[in-house]
Structure 1
Amino acid sequence: MSEKQLLIVSFSKKPEFYLIIRKDAMDKLKLLIGKLTLAFTDADFLVSDIVYKMGITGERFAFFADTKTGHKIENLRNFLQKSDGGPEKAFLPLIERLDELRQERNKLVHSIILKSSTGEDFYIRHRYVLNKEKRVMRDQATFDLKEYEETLQELLGLCKEMTEYYWGLIPTKIKNGARVIRKGEATT
Protein backbone atom coordinates (compact mmCIF):
# COMPACT_ATOMS: atom_id res chain seq x y z
CA MET A 1 0.00 0.00 0.00
CA SER A 2 1.17 3.50 -0.75
CA GLU A 3 1.27 6.31 1.78
CA LYS A 4 -1.85 7.81 0.22
CA GLN A 5 -3.80 4.65 1.03
CA LEU A 6 -2.83 4.63 4.69
CA LEU A 7 -3.97 6.76 7.54
CA ILE A 8 -2.02 6.45 10.76
CA VAL A 9 -3.89 7.30 13.93
CA SER A 10 -2.17 7.68 17.28
CA PHE A 11 -4.12 6.98 20.46
CA SER A 12 -1.18 7.78 22.73
CA LYS A 13 2.39 9.00 22.63
CA LYS A 14 3.68 5.43 22.71
CA PRO A 15 4.50 4.13 19.21
CA GLU A 16 3.14 0.64 19.91
CA PHE A 17 -0.38 2.07 20.08
CA TYR A 18 -0.49 3.27 16.48
CA LEU A 19 -3.32 1.91 14.45
CA ILE A 20 -3.04 1.65 10.68
CA ILE A 21 -6.33 2.12 8.85
CA ARG A 22 -6.74 1.63 5.11
CA LYS A 23 -7.95 4.75 3.37
CA ASP A 24 -11.52 4.14 2.31
CA ALA A 25 -12.16 3.95 -1.43
CA MET A 26 -15.64 5.40 -0.83
CA ASP A 27 -14.62 8.82 0.53
CA LYS A 28 -16.20 10.74 -2.37
CA LEU A 29 -19.47 8.88 -1.86
CA LYS A 30 -19.45 9.55 1.88
CA LEU A 31 -18.89 13.24 1.26
CA LEU A 32 -21.75 13.30 -1.26
CA ILE A 33 -24.09 11.54 1.19
CA GLY A 34 -23.19 14.13 3.82
CA LYS A 35 -23.87 17.01 1.44
CA LEU A 36 -27.22 15.50 0.41
CA THR A 37 -28.19 15.00 4.05
CA LEU A 38 -27.33 18.57 5.01
CA ALA A 39 -29.06 20.04 1.95
CA PHE A 40 -32.20 18.06 2.73
CA THR A 41 -32.12 19.28 6.34
CA ASP A 42 -31.96 22.85 4.98
CA ALA A 43 -34.95 22.14 2.72
CA ASP A 44 -36.90 20.60 5.61
CA PHE A 45 -36.20 23.65 7.76
CA LEU A 46 -37.26 26.00 4.94
CA VAL A 47 -40.54 24.13 4.53
CA SER A 48 -41.14 24.38 8.28
CA ASP A 49 -40.62 28.13 8.20
CA ILE A 50 -42.83 28.54 5.12
CA VAL A 51 -45.62 26.46 6.66
CA TYR A 52 -45.41 28.62 9.78
CA LYS A 53 -45.46 31.89 7.76
CA MET A 54 -48.55 30.67 5.88
CA GLY A 55 -50.29 29.99 9.18
CA ILE A 56 -50.64 26.25 8.57
CA THR A 57 -48.92 25.54 11.89
CA GLY A 58 -48.94 27.70 14.98
CA GLU A 59 -45.49 26.61 16.09
CA ARG A 60 -42.47 27.65 14.04
CA PHE A 61 -40.60 24.32 14.32
CA ALA A 62 -43.59 21.94 14.38
CA PHE A 63 -43.08 20.69 10.83
CA PHE A 64 -39.31 20.45 11.20
CA ALA A 65 -39.54 18.52 14.48
CA ASP A 66 -41.57 15.70 12.92
CA THR A 67 -38.99 13.18 11.69
CA LYS A 68 -41.37 11.17 9.51
CA THR A 69 -40.67 13.25 6.42
CA GLY A 70 -42.70 11.19 3.96
CA HIS A 71 -45.83 11.41 6.13
CA LYS A 72 -45.50 15.12 6.80
CA ILE A 73 -44.97 15.89 3.11
CA GLU A 74 -48.04 13.80 2.26
CA ASN A 75 -50.12 15.66 4.87
CA LEU A 76 -48.87 19.01 3.60
CA ARG A 77 -49.58 17.95 0.00
CA ASN A 78 -53.18 17.03 0.94
CA PHE A 79 -53.65 20.38 2.70
CA LEU A 80 -52.24 22.38 -0.22
CA GLN A 81 -54.35 20.49 -2.79
CA LYS A 82 -57.50 21.53 -0.90
CA SER A 83 -56.55 25.22 -0.81
CA ASP A 84 -58.39 27.73 -3.00
CA GLY A 85 -55.27 29.18 -4.57
CA GLY A 86 -52.93 31.93 -3.59
CA PRO A 87 -49.58 31.23 -1.96
CA GLU A 88 -50.59 27.78 -0.74
CA LYS A 89 -51.40 26.49 -4.22
CA ALA A 90 -48.18 27.99 -5.62
CA PHE A 91 -46.19 26.09 -2.99
CA LEU A 92 -47.51 22.68 -4.10
CA PRO A 93 -45.13 22.18 -7.09
CA LEU A 94 -42.16 22.86 -4.82
CA ILE A 95 -43.38 20.26 -2.34
CA GLU A 96 -43.91 17.75 -5.16
CA ARG A 97 -40.32 18.22 -6.32
CA LEU A 98 -39.02 17.99 -2.74
CA ASP A 99 -40.81 14.66 -2.30
CA GLU A 100 -39.26 13.27 -5.51
CA LEU A 101 -35.79 14.35 -4.36
CA ARG A 102 -36.47 12.92 -0.89
CA GLN A 103 -37.17 9.53 -2.43
CA GLU A 104 -33.94 9.66 -4.46
CA ARG A 105 -31.98 10.73 -1.39
CA ASN A 106 -33.50 7.91 0.66
CA LYS A 107 -32.42 5.34 -1.91
CA LEU A 108 -28.85 6.37 -1.23
CA VAL A 109 -28.92 7.22 2.47
CA HIS A 110 -30.86 4.13 3.58
CA SER A 111 -28.99 1.54 1.53
CA ILE A 112 -26.09 -0.80 1.94
CA ILE A 113 -23.58 0.41 -0.64
CA LEU A 114 -20.72 -1.52 -2.19
CA LYS A 115 -18.06 -0.17 -4.54
CA SER A 116 -17.21 -2.09 -7.66
CA SER A 117 -14.34 -4.45 -6.94
CA THR A 118 -13.24 -4.38 -10.57
CA GLY A 119 -11.85 -0.89 -10.23
CA GLU A 120 -14.64 0.61 -12.33
CA ASP A 121 -16.19 3.81 -11.05
CA PHE A 122 -19.64 2.55 -10.08
CA TYR A 123 -21.45 1.43 -6.96
CA ILE A 124 -24.17 -1.06 -6.10
CA ARG A 125 -26.84 -0.15 -3.58
CA HIS A 126 -29.04 -2.63 -1.75
CA ARG A 127 -32.11 -1.16 -0.09
CA TYR A 128 -34.55 -3.16 1.98
CA VAL A 129 -38.02 -1.79 2.76
CA LEU A 130 -41.24 -3.20 4.19
CA ASN A 131 -44.21 -3.13 1.87
CA LYS A 132 -47.83 -2.65 3.04
CA GLU A 133 -48.10 -6.38 3.80
CA LYS A 134 -45.00 -6.09 6.02
CA ARG A 135 -42.89 -8.14 3.61
CA VAL A 136 -39.27 -7.23 3.00
CA MET A 137 -38.71 -5.91 -0.49
CA ARG A 138 -35.22 -5.57 -1.93
CA ASP A 139 -34.35 -2.75 -4.28
CA GLN A 140 -30.94 -3.15 -5.92
CA ALA A 141 -29.36 -0.86 -8.47
CA THR A 142 -26.00 0.23 -9.79
CA PHE A 143 -25.12 3.89 -9.97
CA ASP A 144 -22.24 6.30 -10.37
CA LEU A 145 -21.56 9.44 -8.38
CA LYS A 146 -22.70 11.70 -11.20
CA GLU A 147 -26.33 10.63 -10.70
CA TYR A 148 -26.39 11.75 -7.08
CA GLU A 149 -24.28 14.84 -7.74
CA GLU A 150 -27.09 15.89 -10.11
CA THR A 151 -29.65 15.10 -7.40
CA LEU A 152 -27.69 17.31 -4.98
CA GLN A 153 -27.63 20.18 -7.50
CA GLU A 154 -31.39 19.83 -8.05
CA LEU A 155 -31.95 19.91 -4.28
CA LEU A 156 -29.76 22.99 -3.84
CA GLY A 157 -31.66 24.70 -6.68
CA LEU A 158 -34.97 23.81 -5.03
CA CYS A 159 -33.74 25.27 -1.73
CA LYS A 160 -32.98 28.50 -3.57
CA GLU A 161 -36.47 28.55 -5.10
CA MET A 162 -38.06 27.88 -1.71
CA THR A 163 -36.03 30.71 -0.17
CA GLU A 164 -37.32 33.07 -2.86
CA TYR A 165 -40.85 31.78 -2.24
CA TYR A 166 -40.39 32.39 1.50
CA TRP A 167 -39.29 35.99 0.96
CA GLY A 168 -42.31 36.50 -1.29
CA LEU A 169 -44.57 35.67 1.68
CA ILE A 170 -43.15 38.49 3.78
CA PRO A 171 -44.74 41.87 3.06
CA THR A 172 -42.38 44.58 1.86
CA LYS A 173 -41.49 46.68 4.90
CA ILE A 174 -40.65 50.34 5.08
CA LYS A 175 -37.85 51.17 7.49
CA ASN A 176 -36.57 54.69 8.09
CA GLY A 177 -38.36 55.90 4.97
CA ALA A 178 -36.63 53.34 2.69
CA ARG A 179 -38.60 50.56 1.06
CA VAL A 180 -36.95 47.13 0.73
CA ILE A 181 -36.88 46.17 -2.92
CA ARG A 182 -36.59 42.51 -3.74
CA LYS A 183 -34.79 41.07 -6.75
CA GLY A 184 -36.98 41.40 -9.83
CA GLU A 185 -39.40 43.84 -8.18
CA ALA A 186 -40.25 47.07 -10.03
CA THR A 187 -38.71 50.16 -8.43
CA THR A 188 -41.27 52.72 -9.64
Structure 2
Amino acid sequence: MTTLSIFDAHNPEATPTVTREAGEISRLLQARGVRFERWPTRELPADAAPEQILETYSAEIAKLKAESGFQTADVVSLNPDNPQKETFRKKFLDEHTHSEDEVRFFVRGQGIFYLHLGDQVFAVQCRKNDLISVPQGTRHWFDMGPEPEFTCIRLFTNPEGWVADFTGEEIAARLPRFEELEGAAV
Protein backbone atom coordinates (compact mmCIF):
# COMPACT_ATOMS: atom_id res chain seq x y z
CA MET A 1 0.00 0.00 0.00
CA THR A 2 1.33 3.43 -0.94
CA THR A 3 2.20 5.48 2.13
CA LEU A 4 2.88 9.18 2.62
CA SER A 5 4.74 10.23 5.76
CA ILE A 6 5.15 13.97 6.34
CA PHE A 7 8.09 14.97 8.55
CA ASP A 8 9.04 18.30 10.11
CA ALA A 9 12.33 19.14 8.34
CA HIS A 10 13.60 20.94 11.45
CA ASN A 11 12.59 18.16 13.85
CA PRO A 12 12.72 14.88 11.89
CA GLU A 13 12.58 12.83 15.10
CA ALA A 14 9.01 14.00 15.74
CA THR A 15 6.24 11.59 14.81
CA PRO A 16 5.24 12.17 11.18
CA THR A 17 1.73 12.58 9.83
CA VAL A 18 0.94 9.40 7.87
CA THR A 19 -1.73 8.56 5.31
CA ARG A 20 -2.28 5.52 3.10
CA GLU A 21 -5.35 6.78 1.24
CA ALA A 22 -4.42 7.33 -2.43
CA GLY A 23 -6.83 10.23 -2.96
CA GLU A 24 -5.50 12.05 0.10
CA ILE A 25 -1.88 11.40 -0.95
CA SER A 26 -2.64 12.82 -4.39
CA ARG A 27 -4.40 15.86 -2.93
CA LEU A 28 -1.60 16.65 -0.46
CA LEU A 29 1.11 16.30 -3.09
CA GLN A 30 -0.81 18.20 -5.77
CA ALA A 31 -1.16 21.12 -3.33
CA ARG A 32 2.67 21.22 -3.34
CA GLY A 33 2.99 20.95 -7.14
CA VAL A 34 3.79 17.22 -7.23
CA ARG A 35 1.86 14.95 -9.59
CA PHE A 36 0.84 11.62 -8.06
CA GLU A 37 -1.53 9.17 -9.71
CA ARG A 38 -2.45 5.50 -9.52
CA TRP A 39 -2.37 3.84 -12.94
CA PRO A 40 -3.38 0.29 -13.81
CA THR A 41 -0.53 -2.07 -14.56
CA ARG A 42 -0.53 -4.95 -16.98
CA GLU A 43 0.74 -8.45 -16.41
CA LEU A 44 4.23 -8.94 -17.75
CA PRO A 45 6.70 -11.79 -17.33
CA ALA A 46 9.11 -11.29 -14.43
CA ASP A 47 11.98 -11.20 -16.92
CA ALA A 48 10.29 -8.80 -19.37
CA ALA A 49 12.84 -6.88 -21.43
CA PRO A 50 12.81 -3.06 -21.26
CA GLU A 51 11.61 -2.91 -24.88
CA GLN A 52 8.63 -5.10 -24.01
CA ILE A 53 7.75 -2.91 -21.02
CA LEU A 54 7.99 0.27 -23.09
CA GLU A 55 5.84 -1.27 -25.83
CA THR A 56 3.24 -2.44 -23.30
CA TYR A 57 2.91 1.11 -21.92
CA SER A 58 3.44 2.95 -25.22
CA ALA A 59 0.06 4.74 -25.09
CA GLU A 60 0.70 6.08 -21.56
CA ILE A 61 4.25 7.12 -22.48
CA ALA A 62 3.00 8.92 -25.60
CA LYS A 63 0.41 10.77 -23.51
CA LEU A 64 3.03 11.91 -20.98
CA LYS A 65 5.40 12.97 -23.77
CA ALA A 66 2.64 15.03 -25.40
CA GLU A 67 1.59 16.63 -22.08
CA SER A 68 5.03 17.54 -20.80
CA GLY A 69 7.45 17.56 -23.72
CA PHE A 70 9.44 14.51 -22.69
CA GLN A 71 11.85 13.32 -25.37
CA THR A 72 12.90 9.88 -24.15
CA ALA A 73 11.67 7.04 -21.98
CA ASP A 74 13.58 4.11 -20.54
CA VAL A 75 13.21 1.37 -17.97
CA VAL A 76 15.21 1.01 -14.77
CA SER A 77 15.02 -2.26 -12.90
CA LEU A 78 16.87 -3.56 -9.88
CA ASN A 79 16.67 -6.81 -7.96
CA PRO A 80 18.13 -7.93 -4.60
CA ASP A 81 20.66 -10.20 -6.32
CA ASN A 82 22.36 -7.29 -8.15
CA PRO A 83 26.01 -7.20 -6.97
CA GLN A 84 26.07 -3.38 -7.28
CA LYS A 85 22.89 -2.73 -5.31
CA GLU A 86 24.71 -0.84 -2.52
CA THR A 87 26.46 1.43 -5.01
CA PHE A 88 23.19 2.15 -6.83
CA ARG A 89 21.41 2.87 -3.55
CA LYS A 90 24.08 5.33 -2.39
CA LYS A 91 23.93 7.20 -5.71
CA PHE A 92 20.40 8.46 -4.98
CA LEU A 93 20.47 8.84 -1.15
CA ASP A 94 21.75 12.43 -0.95
CA GLU A 95 19.51 15.43 -1.47
CA HIS A 96 19.64 16.74 -5.02
CA THR A 97 17.66 18.60 -7.68
CA HIS A 98 17.21 18.24 -11.43
CA SER A 99 16.79 20.73 -14.26
CA GLU A 100 13.76 18.76 -15.44
CA ASP A 101 10.82 16.94 -13.85
CA GLU A 102 11.68 13.49 -12.51
CA VAL A 103 8.92 11.11 -13.60
CA ARG A 104 8.64 7.50 -12.48
CA PHE A 105 5.90 4.95 -13.09
CA PHE A 106 6.28 1.86 -10.89
CA VAL A 107 5.54 -1.24 -12.98
CA ARG A 108 6.55 -3.48 -10.06
CA GLY A 109 8.12 -3.22 -6.63
CA GLN A 110 8.62 -0.12 -4.52
CA GLY A 111 10.88 2.72 -3.45
CA ILE A 112 10.61 5.92 -1.41
CA PHE A 113 10.87 9.44 -2.81
CA TYR A 114 11.69 12.02 -0.13
CA LEU A 115 10.59 15.51 -1.19
CA HIS A 116 12.03 18.44 0.79
CA LEU A 117 9.25 20.99 0.41
CA GLY A 118 9.80 24.07 2.57
CA ASP A 119 9.73 23.12 6.26
CA GLN A 120 8.50 19.59 5.56
CA VAL A 121 9.77 16.37 4.01
CA PHE A 122 7.17 14.27 2.23
CA ALA A 123 8.29 10.62 2.15
CA VAL A 124 6.23 8.94 -0.59
CA GLN A 125 6.57 5.17 -0.47
CA CYS A 126 5.66 4.42 -4.07
CA ARG A 127 4.58 0.95 -5.12
CA LYS A 128 3.37 -0.86 -8.21
CA ASN A 129 0.77 1.30 -10.05
CA ASP A 130 2.14 4.63 -8.74
CA LEU A 131 3.13 7.49 -11.02
CA ILE A 132 5.06 10.35 -9.43
CA SER A 133 6.41 13.47 -11.09
CA VAL A 134 8.84 15.50 -8.97
CA PRO A 135 8.98 19.06 -10.38
CA GLN A 136 12.29 20.41 -11.62
CA GLY A 137 14.28 22.19 -8.94
CA THR A 138 12.60 20.26 -6.11
CA ARG A 139 15.01 19.10 -3.41
CA HIS A 140 14.61 15.35 -3.03
CA TRP A 141 16.28 11.94 -2.78
CA PHE A 142 15.29 8.34 -3.44
CA ASP A 143 15.76 5.25 -1.28
CA MET A 144 15.34 1.86 -2.91
CA GLY A 145 16.19 -0.02 0.29
CA PRO A 146 18.97 -2.52 1.02
CA GLU A 147 17.25 -5.27 -1.00
CA PRO A 148 15.92 -3.27 -3.98
CA GLU A 149 13.18 -4.77 -6.06
CA PHE A 150 11.51 -2.49 -8.55
CA THR A 151 10.94 -1.72 -12.21
CA CYS A 152 10.11 1.84 -13.26
CA ILE A 153 9.51 3.63 -16.50
CA ARG A 154 11.42 6.93 -16.53
CA LEU A 155 10.79 9.89 -18.82
CA PHE A 156 13.23 12.67 -19.66
CA THR A 157 13.32 15.95 -21.57
CA ASN A 158 17.13 15.76 -21.55
CA PRO A 159 18.25 12.90 -23.84
CA GLU A 160 21.25 12.34 -21.53
CA GLY A 161 18.88 10.96 -18.89
CA TRP A 162 19.36 11.28 -15.14
CA VAL A 163 21.51 14.30 -14.24
CA ALA A 164 21.58 15.45 -10.60
CA ASP A 165 22.76 18.64 -8.89
CA PHE A 166 23.57 17.66 -5.29
CA THR A 167 22.72 20.29 -2.66
CA GLY A 168 25.39 19.29 -0.12
CA GLU A 169 22.77 19.35 2.65
CA GLU A 170 22.70 16.42 5.08
CA ILE A 171 18.95 16.32 5.76
CA ALA A 172 18.64 12.88 4.10
CA ALA A 173 20.84 11.35 6.81
CA ARG A 174 18.52 12.67 9.55
CA LEU A 175 15.33 11.03 8.32
CA PRO A 176 14.32 7.36 8.62
CA ARG A 177 15.57 5.20 5.76
CA PHE A 178 13.57 2.74 3.70
CA GLU A 179 14.02 -0.07 6.25
CA GLU A 180 12.41 1.96 9.04
CA LEU A 181 9.54 3.34 6.98
CA GLU A 182 8.86 0.00 5.25
CA GLY A 183 8.43 -1.66 8.63
CA ALA A 184 6.06 1.10 9.74
CA ALA A 185 3.94 0.77 6.60
CA VAL A 186 3.06 -2.88 7.00
Per the normalisation by structure 1, the TM-score is 0.25
Name the structure where helix makes up a greater proportion of residues: 1
Per the normalisation by structure 2, the TM-score is 0.25
Q: Which protein has greater RCO, CA pairs closer than 8 Å, 6+ apart? A: 2
Of the two, which has the highest radius of gyration? Answer: 1
Name the structure where strand makes up a greater proportion of residues: 2
